[in-house]
Amino acid sequence: MRLNGIKVLALFLLLITLASACTLYRMQSKPMYKHYIRYQPFDAIIVPGYPYYQNGWEDVIRLRVLWAKYLYSKGYAKHIIFSGSAVYSPYIESRIMKQFAIAIGIDSNVIFTEEQAEHSVENVYYSYQIAQEHGWENVALATDYVQISMVRSFVSKERIPIVFLPALIPVLDSMELAFHTNPPQINDSIAFVPDFVPITERQSFMERLKGTRGKRIKRKKK
């Protein structure tokens, strides 16, 4: 009986923590968005990828792609760089997100993919290199507030001149209604990697930890 009580308490604390995190997310996202949206229109926005497991229009992928569509359709972003390699599943994340973006009406001509990154900081670093190659100077990272908070110190340390556009949940909620009964369909075969080996088998925990800290970035020689 006591064990059940402990489980109930643990579940209660978990729910409280999740509720607090959601509240913090909403409270922090809007002020940050308001501060940085003043610098629009952006030459490009960077949108990090997320693992795809053939489960269709999943939550995180949906959030990031819809946010990209919102910023583009409002005229706040001229180009979109989806970033991400095949990391945990045999599908190149950036290609999957590009397909979803096209399926919901984003012009394919404004979409670019970065297919090397395996960690959030690499999403930023390699995508900004693409922006530089095209001469794009006004660049923003467009994703959820949690991921932004994870890379801010790296961006500051590396002196990467980008700003942050955290997704606004109320905006996304209203956009999602259009896809409840008719979710977008894609051809995921174009993103499939044969003989794929997940990062958990290719790298040790310590190596992956280095990756999250930007220690495995392949920097161009000067």
Kindly state whether residue 77 falls inside one of the protein's structural domains: yes
Whether 5 has a pLDDT exceeding 60, the answer reads no
First to last CA, the chain: 66
Kindly state whether residue 68 falls inside one of the protein's structural domains: yes
Kindly state whether residue 23 falls inside one of the protein's structural domains: no
User: What's 184's DSSP letter?
Assistant: -
Kindly state whether residue 21 falls inside one of the protein's structural domains: no
**Would you state the pLDDT for residue 17?**
41
Hey, what are 129's tokens? 């290199």
Q: What's the domain count of the chain?
A: 1
Q: Tell me the per-residue pLDDT of 164-201, one tens digit each, with 9 for 90 and over.
A: 999 998 888 888 888 878 889 999 999 999 999 999 99
* 3-class secondary structure, 161: coil
Cα(2)–Cα(91) distance, rounded to whole angstroms? 45
E strands present in 115-203: 139-143, 162-166
**Would you state the pLDDT for residue 12?**
47
Q: Are 103 and 196 in contact (CB under 8 A)?
A: no
Q: Tell me the per-residue pLDDT of 16-72, one tens digit each, with 9 for 90 and over.
A: 444 444 555 556 889 999 999 999 999 999 999 999 999 888 889 999 999 999 999
Kindly state whether residue 163 falls inside one of the protein's structural domains: yes
**Would you state the pLDDT for residue 27?**
64
**Would you state the pLDDT for residue 214?**
87
Which residues, listed in sequence order, are joined to residue 29 by a DSSP beta bridge? Answer: none
Kindly state whether residue 86 falls inside one of the protein's structural domains: yes
Q: Are 85 and 198 in contact (CB under 8 A)?
A: no
**Would you state the pLDDT for residue 216?**
87
Cα(203)–Cα(206) distance, rounded to whole angstroms? 8
**Would you state the pLDDT for residue 33?**
95
Kindly state whether residue 191 falls inside one of the protein's structural domains: yes
**Would you state the pLDDT for residue 147?**
92
Q: Tell me the per-residue pLDDT of 111-149, one tens digit each, with 9 for 90 and over.
A: 999 999 999 999 999 999 999 999 999 999 999 998 999
Least confident span in 51-60, 75-84, 94-103, 176-185: 176-185
**HEC assignment per residue over 11-33:** HHHHHHHHHHHHHHHHHHHHHHH
**Would you state the pLDDT for residue 25?**
56
Hey, what are 147's tokens? 């991921």
**Owning domain of residue 92:** 32-212
Q: How many CA atoms lie within 13 A of 129 on its CB side?
A: 16
Pairing mode of beta strands 162-166, 139-143: parallel
**Would you state the pLDDT for residue 129?**
96
Whether 210 has a pLDDT exceeding 50, the answer reads yes
Kindly state whether residue 78 falls inside one of the protein's structural domains: yes
Cα(184)–Cα(186) distance, rounded to whole angstroms? 7
* CATH number for position 68: 3.40.50.620
